[in-house]
Structure 1
Amino acid sequence: MDGNGRWAKARHLPRVAGHKSGMESVRSVVKMAPDLGIEVLTLYAFSSENWKRPEEEVGFLFNLLKSYLQSEIAELDAKNVQIRCIGNWRALPADLVTLIDGAIERTKDNAGLKLVLALNYGSHDEITRAVRACVADGLTGGQIDEAAIEARLDTAGLPAPDLIIRTSGEERLSNFMMWQAAYSEFVFTPVLWPDFDGDALARACDHFAVRERRYGGI
């Protein structure tokens, strides 16, 4: 979800205004996803590199996430959405962790859209933690194979992403799901995240639908 800062700058607004507007895009995309047949929607909400941003901006992002969970959890639960998190999210502020725990517990039995929030997430960190977990579990040598690592990734139990969308014209992974994205399709759009809505998601899915996926075959 890239481009909040540039969206705000183009309108001579503070960066936080872009993040606030971007939250409306989150609502629109989450609402549209089930109608498009999407079963798992992952939002890269806060990366492990985002700590480098100004403290005031980081705090605003955390408060925005708290506000989203507080205001949306009842509706998400009513719509059968299951909330999950990936990343080292327990290192976030304690009050935010409490809210996330509550949202996960409240929606754990829901069978609709799986809404995965990537929080304090970085793929290098995720893979490193998975390998360390293999060692901690007593695995050695050939026992540490792809299946063992995948079982200890944050995304264990979730399918690999079919489609990864990046907004704002940037064309790189930026440490996102580098293991899981081995055979993902990509859509790079110049649209800044605050201007990306449910209709934009539908157009991205249309692009994906006509692609031929060979997984290394002919």
Structure 2
Amino acid sequence: MSEKQDTGRVRFYIIGIGILLLLVVVLELLQVNLAMGMLRKMEEDALARKDAASESVALDTGFSWPDEMAGDPAEIPEEAAPEKSPGEVAPEESPEEALPEKAAPKVPAYQLHERTVPEQVLTREGMTLRTLADRYYGNEVFWVCIYDYNNRVLRDPRVLPAGIRLRLPRRSEYGIDASDALSIRRARMMGEAVNGIINNE
């Protein structure tokens, strides 16, 4: 009787372990799908912002000559100035009559300092993805963007080898904006997903 009970317990333990392993595999797959979905969402948002910014600049700076002024400006006859009678003094132009200057086109915040981010950096001892993100993007939470951009050479985001050339993505590619709470929240969620995958490996 005791042997049958022991056999039943062993079977019960084996089944329980199998169920636990299956749950672990399912959770791993869900985390991977979540991370991939967030990556695709960030790429789509970055492309949408870039297209919107390009259209805005094109609309604000567009200019075309009127039909009657088309062609070589040198061929356009100048209007004859009215003849002044002797002793007549030309009136001074009033500052109020000057035309207002056209406002500069509005540029998204993540493109204001685009030129300050180099295409790549040579890593040194003591460097981390967080310090690089804080230096070039204004917030260390964007480390995950650098990691994703260099995922072929970086296996663990917590370890940054010295002496490698690390590429830095442009802000517009990931919608990086240290002044935008939504951009920071997306980067933080993406970083948590990546950390979860790394910790479970």
TM-score (norm 2): 0.27
- Larger-gyration structure (1/2): 2
Structure with the bigger percentage of helix: 2
TM-score between both structures, scaled by the size of structure 1: 0.25
Higher fraction of strand? 1
